[in-house]
Chain A
Amino acid sequence: MARIELNEIKHSYHPNPTDDEDFALKRIHTVWEDGGAYALLGPSGCGKTTMLNIISGLLKPSHGSISYDDTDVSAMQPEDRNIAQVFQFPVLYDTMTVYQNLAFPLKNRGVAKADIDKRVDEIAEALDLKQDLHKRASGLSADAKQKISLGRGLVRSDVAAILFDEPLTVIDPHLKWDLRRKLKEIHKEFKLTMIYVTHDQVEAMTFADQIVVMYEGEIVQTGTPEELFETPEHTFVGYFIGSPGMNFLECTVDGALALVGGETIPIIPSYADKAMRAGGKLKIGIRPMYVGLHAEAVEDGIAAEVINIEDQGFCKIVTAKFGDNAIKARIKDDRSIPDGKCWLTFPPEKTKLYCDERLVK
C-alpha cells in the first residue's frame, strides 16, 4: 500500500520526439492517494495503458520520475516495485493448475507454504474459483481464465497498488457486474490502492471513488462521478461523460448575455465577466437534462424546431435546432413533447462557459 506520485512524466514511443504529437503522454503530474479506488477513463489511444505500464515499471518514461511513498522507484524493475497488474486478456500459465497459477506470485517471493494456502483460499473464495482449484487452468472458460488473472493480481496482500487494464473486456456482461462488485468489496476489505483503466464510463463510475479522465495524453480532470457530471473542466469530459454528452455551442459573450447565432442566452453576470476577461475562443456548454423545452413562448426562450425524438424508455432525447445549432434535451418520459415548433431555455446556474476547451472558473 502506497501513495504513488508521478512527477512531470512525459513519454514518447519515438526515439527522437520532436513535437507534441510524438508524445503518448504529454505532461502527467499527479498523485494517487494510498488506499484509493481510481478509474482511469478515456477513449482508446489516449495513453491509459502507457500510463499504467509506467506506474508498474513495464515501461520507462522518457521524462520525469515516479515515487511510491516518497521513495523514487523510477529505476526499479516491476518485480522490485511490488506492484500487481491485471491485463486486458487472460494471461495464464497453461501447464499449471488454478491453485498453482494463483500461488505463483507468492511462491516466487518465497512466501511460506501455509501462508500461500491461506491466501489462495481466500482469493479463490472471493472469486468463486474454489471448485476449479485443482483443475488445469488451460481447460477453463474465458471467464474463469480472466478470474484467475484477476486472482493473481489480488493474491499478494502487501502490494503498493493493483493496476487493472480493462480487465473485464472478455467477460460476459452479467458477470461484469458481479466481478466489479467483488473488486469493490475486496477494495473495502483490504484498503488497497486500485487503479482501474477503462473506456466505459459506467464501469468507471460504479467502481471508483475518483475518476481520472485522460484525453490525448493528458489528464483533463480528476474528480468524483458527480463533479465530472456537474462541472466538467474540459469540453472533452462534458462530451465523454453522460449519455448523451454535453451540448456545446460556439458563442461570444456580451455583458450578461451569450450570443449564439443571433440568439441570446442569459449568463450569471460575474461569470460572464470572467469569460470575457479569459479572452479565448468561447463555447457555451449545458447538459441535456438541464435544457428546458417548452411548447409556448417563455421568457428568455429561444424559438427552435424539434427535428428528432429518441425514446430511451425511461426518458426521451429530443434534438431541436435553431439556426445552424442543434441542441439535445433529455425529457422525462411522462412529459408531452411539442410537435415542430418549441422554445428552449438555458438555466443560468447550469450553463457553463468554456474558453479554448477549458472551463471558465
Chain B
Amino acid sequence: MSKWENNRAWFFILPVFVIVAFSAIIPLMTVVNYSVQDIFGPGQRFFVGLEWFREVLLDTRLHDALWRQLTFSGLVLLIEMPLGVAIALTMPKKGWASSLCLVILALPLLIPWNVIGTIWIIFTRPDIGLMGSLINSAGISFDHTANAFDAWTTLMLMEVWHWTPLVVLLAFAGLRAIPEAYYQAAKIDGASPWAIFRYIQLPKMRGVLTIALLLRFMDSFLIYAEPFVLTGGGPGNATTFLSIYLVKIAVGQFDLGPAAAFSLIYFLIILLFCWLFYQALQAVEGGEKS
C-alpha cells in the first residue's frame, strides 16, 4: 500500500517534467543535434563533429556582429541606467502627478516590439516623418536607410525611448522604499544633495538596479524585432546584430548546422556575461558586508 502511494507522487511532478522537456530540453537538444550534423534534406545527413563550431567561430562576419552587439549593449547600459535613475530622482514623489508620470512612462513598454520599429520608421522618414523632416529642414541630411551613423542614432533613440522607462520604474520603486527617517537624518547631519544620493539613495537602490542592469543587458543583447523592422540590418551590415545575422543564416540561407552552432555559442555568451555581471555585483555587496 505504502509503495503504491509513494509511486503516485510521480504523477504530481510529471506535468513539470513534460513542460520543461518540451519548452527547454527537447528544443535545446534538437539544436545540439543540428549543430553536429550536415543536413541536405530529410534522411540525408552526415555527422561532422565540431566542424560547424570551428567555422562559425572563425567567421569574421560573426566577429563583426558580436562587436556591434557588444557596442550596442554597452551604449544601452551607459545611457539608460544613469538616465533612468535621473528621471526617477526628478519625478514627482506622490499625488496625481506621480501617477500620471508613471502611466506616461509605461506606455512604450506596452507597445508590441515590431510596432515600435514601424513607429520609428515613420517618425524618422525624411519626407513625412516629424523628426526626419525637421532635421532635414534644418539643413542636416538625415536618413537612416542610407547612412550608418543615422541608422545607429535612430536605433539608439528608439531603444532609449522604449526601454529607459523600465529602469525608471525599477529605480522609482527602489527610491520609494527608502524610509523617511533616512532623509530626516541626512538633513540633521547636514548632508548635501549629492551626499544624499551617493550615501543613501544609490546604496538603497542597488538591488533594483542590479535587476535593471541584468534585464537591460539580456534584452539589448537579444534585440531582434526593432532593428529588423527599422533597418533590416542595414545599411550594408551596419546594424546587423547577432540575432539578425543568425536569422539570415538559419532562415535566409537555411544553413541549419552552422545556425545551430551559432545559437549555442550565442547562448553561452549571454550566460557568460550574466554570470560576470552577477559575480561583479556580488563582489561589491560582499565588500560591503565585511
Q: How far is the CB of A114 from chain B (nearest CB, A)?
A: 20
Interface size on A, residues (CB 8 A): 27
Bound-state Cα–Cα, A93 to B185, Å:
10
A89 surroundings in chain B (CB, below 8 A): 179, 181
Of the candidate stretches A64-72, A79-87, A115-123, A324-332, the one touching chain B is A79-87
Bound-state Cα–Cα, A84 to B287, Å:
30
Query: Residue B162 at the A interface, CB < 8 A?
Result: no
- Binary interface profile of A, 88-113, with partner B (CB < 8 Å = 1, else 0)? 11010111100000001100110000
Contact A136 to B290, CB < 8 A, known contacts A58-B184, A89-B181, A91-B181: yes
The answer to whether A105 and B199 have CB atoms under 8 Å apart is: no
A88, A94, A108: the one within 8 Å of B190 (CB): A108
A53 surroundings in chain B (CB, below 8 A): 184
Within 8 A of B (CB), among A154-194: none
Bound-state Cα–Cα, A139 to B287, Å:
10
Query: Residue B125 at the A interface, CB < 8 A?
Result: no
B287 surroundings in chain A (CB, below 8 A): 136
Q: How far is the CB of A88 from chain B (nearest CB, A)?
A: 8
Bound-state Cα–Cα, A91 to B203, Å:
13
B182 surroundings in chain A (CB, below 8 A): 91
B185 surroundings in chain A (CB, below 8 A): 85, 87, 91, 149, 152
The answer to whether B204 and A94 have CB atoms under 8 Å apart is: yes
Query: Residue A56 at the B interface, CB < 8 A?
Result: yes
Within 8 A of A (CB), among B151-183: 179, 181-182
The answer to whether B288 and A78 have CB atoms under 8 Å apart is: no
The answer to whether B288 and A87 have CB atoms under 8 Å apart is: no
The answer to whether B190 and A109 have CB atoms under 8 Å apart is: yes
Looking at chain B's contact residues, the main secondary structure is helix
Q: How far is the CB of B244 from chain A (nearest CB, A)?
A: 41
- Binary interface profile of A, 36-72, with partner B (CB < 8 Å = 1, else 0)? 0000000000000000010010100000000000000
- Binary interface profile of B, 108-149, with partner A (CB < 8 Å = 1, else 0)? 000000000000000000000000000000000000000000
Number of A-B contacts (CB under 8 A): 65
Query: Residue A77 at the B interface, CB < 8 A?
Result: yes
Bound-state Cα–Cα, A139 to B187, Å:
24
A104 surroundings in chain B (CB, below 8 A): 189, 191, 199
> B188, B192, B200, B287 — which one has the most chain A CB atoms within 10 A of its CB?
B188
B188 surroundings in chain A (CB, below 8 A): 56, 58, 78-79, 83-85, 105
Contact A93 to B187, CB < 8 A, known contacts A136-B288, A136-B289, A139-B288: no
Nearest-neighbor residue (CB-CB) of A83 within chain B: B188
Bound-state Cα–Cα, A104 to B196, Å:
11
Query: Residue A12 at the B interface, CB < 8 A?
Result: no
Query: Residue A231 at the B interface, CB < 8 A?
Result: no
A136 surroundings in chain B (CB, below 8 A): 287-290
> B189, B203, B287, B290 — which one has the most chain A CB atoms within 10 A of its CB?
B189
Q: How far is the CB of A96 from chain B (nearest CB, A)?
A: 7
Bound-state Cα–Cα, A93 to B190, Å:
14
Q: How far is the CB of B102 from chain A (nearest CB, A)?
A: 24
Contact A79 to B187, CB < 8 A, known contacts A138-B288, A139-B288: yes
The answer to whether A108 and B191 have CB atoms under 8 Å apart is: yes
> A91, A108, A136, A149 — which one has the most chain B CB atoms within 10 A of its CB?
A91
Q: How far is the CB of A95 from chain B (nearest CB, A)?
A: 5
Bound-state Cα–Cα, A250 to B30, Å:
90
Contact A87 to B290, CB < 8 A, known contacts A94-B204, A104-B189, A108-B190: no
The answer to whether A87 and B181 have CB atoms under 8 Å apart is: yes
A88 surroundings in chain B (CB, below 8 A): 181
- Interface on A for B, CB 8 Å cutoff? 53, 56, 58, 77-79, 83-85, 87-89, 91, 93-96, 104-105, 108-109, 135-136, 138-139, 149, 152
Instruction: Write 15 A-B pairs (CB below 8 A) sorted by A numbering.
Output: A78-B188, A79-B187, A83-B188, A84-B188, A87-B181, A87-B185, A89-B179, A89-B181, A91-B181, A93-B203, A94-B199, A94-B204, A105-B189, A105-B190, A136-B288
Q: Can you add 13 more A-B contacts, CB < 8 Å, to A95-B288, A139-B290?
A: A56-B188, A77-B187, A79-B190, A84-B188, A85-B188, A88-B181, A91-B184, A91-B185, A93-B199, A108-B189, A108-B195, A136-B290, A139-B288
